[in-house]
Amino acid sequence: MNGFVHLNCHSNFSLLYGGSSIDDLIERCADGGMDTLALTDRDGLYGAVLFYEKALHAGIKPIIGCDLTLSFPSPSRGEGQGSGSSTADLRSGPERPGSRDVGEGQGRGSTNVILLARNDEGYRNLCRAVTERRLGEVPLSIERLAAFSEGLFALCGDASLLEPLGEVFGDSLFAELANAGTRASHLEAERLLAEARRLGVRPAASNRVAFAAPDDFGLHRTLCAVRLICPVTRIPQGESAEAGCYLRPPGEMQQLFSAYPYSEAPEALDCTREIAESCEFRFRLGEWLFPAADLPLGETPFSHLTKLCFEGAARLYRPLPAKALERLHFELETIEAMGFTPYFLVVYDIAKFCREHGIPAAGRGSAAGSMVAYVLGITYIDPLEHDLYFERFLSPARDDPPDIDLDVSACRRDEVLDYIYRRFGADRVAMICTYATMKARMAVRDVAKAMGLSPEEVDAVLAEAEAAGATIAKAAETLFWGGYAGTFLDPDGHPWQVAHNPSWPLGEDGAVTLA
């Protein structure tokens, strides 16, 4: 077994940057004889669970991480750095894809650091750091990152930041040593190793993976061009990865690090294995975490839900038929046995607020088959009268959790959201994040723009294809001469943007964080 492990790897969940899907990365990893892989997408953990499940299925140990953007005070123009170079020089090289200046006029710059979850606390802190990064107006500061450092490994390729990051992470900080095959990369490596030796920071080898295989480089460049709204020939330096930033097999990495100055740090390859073996975080999938409901003195969630249900049933059925009692007992016992009692209390709380404030709101979908939902005032259709099956909504024979879609009047939706934030706490409520994937027609237009084609040329070809009954794929071949546009036309295309889902999931009895 080779010692090297890729600890800096981007999938297409690094939106419009990563050139390969999680499936492609895992397949390449397995084909290369590698047994461990980290996923470190940019400023997000959108693909973490999917990666975790697929990696385990393929017999590969998954490591969950993130490529996080940090801000730091920029030096005055011409001021030297401890490593003998300016921070701007370190950021501008092509071996630092995606680094950029932020907060101009405020004396701050930005760089990236790889964070890897060692354990449960590390993953929680990783989520907190990402949350702060996504909600903040500027990238997270090193000073603020110190609050989230417990349980994390950090890899930094910026020589000027090893010292301040060392104060935050201690022995958990490693100097990320990468060979992009350029003179700038070699000069950076010399500076990085010199500063690492001075500070006692150990080096770790990296290839800063942006795509799975060499053939995916063109797709990566095109995605970057789409993101930057420019032709591929005009992508700014540093905004895309080098052609060699693919998932190299261990043998290639050994050869890559045999040249000077990388040969001066032979331990860099083995350090990656040491880091990987220390990362023990595991998702506990299938466990449901619900917020704790406020309960009357002496009540349990089940006794309180039962009391609410029978009070509601007494109002709706006069007299209360034996069939309704039997159905109500069955549903309550099923809900309690499956552990979903707190969930119903939370949805009841929200529906009650809407009802008391005259806000139109109604549950829909399979929840209409639940008598518990009906007597709680969540839905307004009697499942007994309409012969609706509860098992379609919730059944011990399925692992699916209950899903109650509560439609709320659009003009008063913000009132409901404000109540939820006040009621449960702003640190315990989060909107669902969803993402859109590239579809055929949009992908053709975006790729055409990246290729430098005019909208008129694209319109003409698409119109001609439609008139002839040809497919979008055939039109793409006409536009791109059968290049790599086909990858965009996969119906399960690349994610390209995220958005908030119009719903409000609630976290566990403790602060929630956005991944």
Peptide bond into 94 cis (omega under 30): no
**Percentage above 70 pLDDT, the chain:** 84
Residue 123: pLDDT over 80: yes
Residues 6+ apart with CB under 8 A from 98: 17, 42, 112, 238, 239
What confidence tens digit (pLDDT) does each residue in 407-460 have? Answer: 999 999 999 999 988 988 887 887 777 888 877 777 777 888 887 878 888 787
Q: What stretches of 358-433 show up as alpha helix (H) in DSSP?
A: 371-375, 413-424
Q: How confident is the model at residue 511 (pLDDT cuts 50, 70, 90)?
A: low
Task: Flag the least confident range among 198-202, 209-213, 362-366, 428-432.
Answer: 428-432
CA gap 238, 417 in Å, rounded: 41
Q: What is each CA distance from 467 to 28, 171, 390, in whole angstroms?
A: 41, 65, 50
| Alpha-carbon distances of 5 from 32, 276, 295, 318, 404, rounded to whole Å | 11, 7, 50, 68, 43
Select, from the ranges 162-176, 232-246, 476-490, the one with the highest average predicted confidence (pLDDT).
162-176
Cis ω for the linkage preceding 62 (within 30 of 0): no
Give 367's DSSP letter. G
Question: Which tokens sit at 244?
Answer: 């060699």
At residue 469, does pLDDT exceed 80?
Answer: no
What are the tens digits of pLDDT across the range 417-426? 999 889 888 8
Instruction: Please say if the pLDDT value at position 100 is more than 50.
Output: no
Contact 152, 126 (CB under 8 A): yes
Fill in the DSSP letter of residue 201.
P
Q: How confident is the model at residue 90 (pLDDT cuts 50, 70, 90)?
A: very low
The contacts of residue 59 (CB under 8 Å, 6+ apart) are 30, 35
CA 283, 286, 292, 293 dihedral sign is positive
Distances in Å between the Cα of 391 and the Cα atoms of 41, 157, 383 are 39, 55, 12
Query: How far from the centroid of its chain's Cα atoms is residue 311's Cα?
Result: 43
Which sequence spans correspond to the domains of the chain? 22-278, 301-432, 439-493
Question: What band does 78 get if pLDDT is binned at 50, 70 and 90?
Answer: very low
Task: State the Cα–Cα distance between residues 175 and 64, nearest whole angstrom.
Answer: 19
CATH fold label, 22-278: TIM Barrel (3.20.20)
What integer best gives the mean pLDDT of the chain?
Answer: 85
In the block, residue with structure tokens 């930094």: 156
pLDDT band at 85 (very low <50, low <70, confident <90, very high): very low
